[in-house]
Amino acid sequence: MFGAILSSSSPAVAARCAWARARAGAACTQNVTDPTLGDALLDRLAAGDTAGQAVEIVAAAARHAEHRQLTAVGASGHGATYSGSQTLGCHAEASGPGWAAAGNLLAEAGVPEAMGAAFASDPGAPLGSRLVAALRAAREAGGEAGPVHSAGMLVVHRVAWPVTDLRIDWTEADPVEELAALWGLWAPMAEDYVMRALEPGAAPSYGVPGDE
């Protein structure tokens, strides 16, 4: 499985910044975001590049690369990051086996390291739960310098579509905790909704309004 999670002061952050492709990897493109770089990173990962190679190649070819911040995780090895010279405010990045984290306009430079530590602390937990733990750790380590209003999580596994695509596109409350609550609702159902597509006769119905 591959996944990405993030939060921002801007609206609908996950719609522009989070990218993942089954059997390829996951990536984020942020800081004065160019969404085309997400697909470019996934194309490199799908072609067999390591995360480091993918980030290096995409950053080298990108227009206005000095304004961009990239992260990528592939099928094996360390994640990789890139922060251009014009990345906004206090910014930092960190990576480790199977993960990468980066941020800009941060309250503290240690935020990405805190995310990685939380993500790696329970490798047997569901990927979505590990991602939520990382985002909570980011907030507890200082998070963004100003208030955040949106958050999102994207997870892929086996099938061609995201098995989890959860978004808090705008809230005046706490998007991190709202996303965590949404994950708590969704997690027990995620595999069943995949089953609906693959083997509809074997999939349970939850009887919710609009349920197919």
| Domains, the chain, ordered by start | 2-186 (3.60.20.10)
pTM, two decimals, is 0.94
**pLDDT reading at 128 higher than 70:** yes
**pLDDT reading at 211 higher than 90:** no
**pLDDT reading at 66 higher than 50:** yes
Average pLDDT, the chain: 95
pLDDT digits (tens, 9 = 90+) for 99-125: 999 999 999 999 999 999 999 999 999
Q: Can you tell me the distance from the alpha carbon of 56 to that of 36, in angstroms, rounded to the nearest whole number?
A: 15
Check if the beta carbon of residue 89 is closer than 8 Å to that of residue 79. Answer: no
What average pLDDT score do residues 161-188 get?
98
**pLDDT reading at 209 higher than 70:** no
**pLDDT reading at 208 higher than 80:** no
Alpha helices in 6-155 (DSSP H): 13-17, 36-46, 51-61, 111-120, 127-140
Q: Can you tell me the distance from the alpha carbon of 140 to that of 111, in angstroms, rounded to the nearest whole number?
A: 9
Question: Percent of the chain, pLDDT > 90?
Answer: 93
- For position 134, what pLDDT does the model report? 98
C-alpha pair distances (Å), 49 with each of 46, 64, 91, 205: 7, 23, 26, 41
